[in-house]
Chains A and B, each alone.
Chain A
Amino acid sequence: MVAAPVQDSPWVAVAIALILGTSGCAVVHAHERGHLAKRAMTSDRDPGEARFLEHERGAREGADGGTGQPGGGCGCN
């Protein structure tokens, strides 16, 4: 199956973040952050798991990168 042409809309992600981020920026104090400290609310992926997923995507998809640091060491350009 061939994908339909993808529109050039890079600011969708930024706009979503801004809308969500400015929709309720009341300060949440430290003692109120019990739920925010849960594993799934911080990072539910271990470093090794995230690294493998990133490497796998780099080998299978053209939209590699964008996760904080360049890849490499794949041998599968």
Chain B
Amino acid sequence: MRLQLTAGIVAGLVLALAAPASADGTLAVRGVYYKERATRVMQPMMDAIFDAGTHGIVTGHFLVDAITSASASSGAVNAVPFNELRYEAGAGYTHELGALTIGGDAKYSTESDYRSLYGGVRAQLELGQKNTVLGLGAGYSHDTVSAAAAQGPAMPTLRCDDAHPADPECPLDVYAVYGSVSQIVGKDTVVAATVDLSTLSGYQSNPYRSAIVGEVLVPERHPSERTREAFAASIRHYVAATGTTLIGAYRYYRDDWQVHAHTPELRIVQEVGRDMDAAVRFRYYTQDGAYFFRDRYPADSTAMSPYVTDDVKLSSFTGYTLEAKLGVLGEAFQLSGRWAGARFEGMLEYTAQHNRFGNAVIAHVAVTIPFEY
């Protein structure tokens, strides 16, 4: 499947290159370094966006995740060190039909113990001289989970559900729909809102993680169904006198595992001359825990509830993120040709999280190169 998608990207690029001379596009290369208490990730990636004809746009991406962790079970009590590579490729196409734009995209990700295939469609409608833009989309992904990265001579089997108590791998299906609206409310201000709904069906536990029940470790068991909802709103305002863009956003999330979360965020982007911009971001996050989460389960809890977990993401916690970003055009370095319009970026992010995961540092470096053909 990865080969098929790569072929799709190549076909898209060939299509784009065959387009009229006025067409253009960008190629972005990015490297990310992520470090938290027990996990380190390095991720090189490449993103391409090209015109295809006069009304089409082709996108494609490819990335590699190199993960080194103290534990495949995300910091669990029975941690075993592991290294893993994940590969992901995706491609998309959008086509403009006057005020209506339609599109679709696909993505495939594979690692030793997890495969995911995603496909989606979307439509966008511009109204009121493009002052209002409505969006609607839907997607489906089929994931396959195994314990292939487990230590030992034989791969453990998984309890997918009552009908499949000992299978080598388990499926997880995700159906999602979303809607969005953005509205220009002035020469310097635009607001937007989104609603996302998704339902998950299948294996949603971590195959390596165990919960402490009484004095023994019991393999994690999560419900096989989950319905998630997210509502978000944002406002962007440009202050012409100082060249400053203020961005405020708020997101509310809830699901039927009784996890609720609030996420307010503020970003400030400051123009620095003609060729440079600097940005800072503050994000706060708070969530409460899933109804079946416990730090330790009493010895008889599996008889009382079929679900046990050691997933930190299902506990109650708060956190915040601070980010600083600098973007510079090639002109600032006296570069010429297409490199004059290339954008160089550096970003540093620090996340503090009040749970077992601890804090994290993320660094990005990227260059985006424009093309005309």
Residues of A within 8 A of B (CB): 1-14, 16-18, 20-21, 23-30, 32-33, 35-36, 38-41, 44, 46-49, 51-52, 56, 59-77
Residues of B contacting A76 with CB < 8 Å?
A: 74, 206
Name the distance in Å between B130's Cβ and chain A's nearest Cβ.
Answer: 7
Residues of A contacting B251 with CB < 8 Å?
A: 13, 63, 66
Contact B263 A21 (CB under 8 A): no
Interface size on B, residues (CB 8 A): 118
Partner of B362, one of A12, A56, A70: A56
Contact A13 B47 (CB under 8 A): no
Q: Which of B221-238 contact A (CB under 8 A)?
A: 222, 228-233, 235-236, 238
Q: A4-B288, A65-B228 are in contact. List 17 more A-B contacts (CB 8 A).
A: A1-B318, A3-B288, A17-B191, A24-B185, A25-B185, A28-B131, A28-B186, A36-B190, A52-B43, A62-B289, A66-B229, A73-B88, A73-B110, A75-B72, A75-B86, A75-B111, A77-B222
Main secondary structure of the interface of A (DSSP, over half): loop
Contact A40 B193 (CB under 8 A): no
Contact A46 B88 (CB under 8 A): no
- Which of these binds chain A: B8-16, B113-121, B298-306, B333-341? B113-121
- Which of these binds chain A: B17-25, B159-167, B347-355? B347-355
Name the distance in Å between B150's Cβ and chain A's nearest Cβ.
Answer: 12
Contact with A along B271-303 (1 / 0, CB 8 A): 000000101000001111110000000000000
Main secondary structure of the interface of B (DSSP, over half): strand
Contact A52 B206 (CB under 8 A): no
Closest to A66 in B: B230
Contact A60 B360 (CB under 8 A): yes
Residues of B within 8 A of A (CB): 28, 30, 32, 34, 43, 45-47, 49, 59, 61, 63, 72, 74, 84, 86, 88, 105, 107, 109-116, 118, 120, 128-131, 137, 139-141, 143, 145, 149, 172, 174-176, 178, 181, 183-196, 198, 200, 203-206, 222, 228-233, 235-236, 238, 240, 245, 247, 250-255, 259-263, 267, 269, 277, 279, 285-290, 311, 313-314, 316-319, 345, 347, 351, 353-354, 357, 360, 362, 364, 366, 368
Instruction: Give Cα A63–Cα B181 distance, bound, in whole angstroms.
Output: 22
Contact A20 B233 (CB under 8 A): yes
Instruction: Give Cα A27–Cα B269 distance, bound, in whole angstroms.
Output: 26
Instruction: Give Cα A2–Cα B88 distance, bound, in whole angstroms.
Output: 35
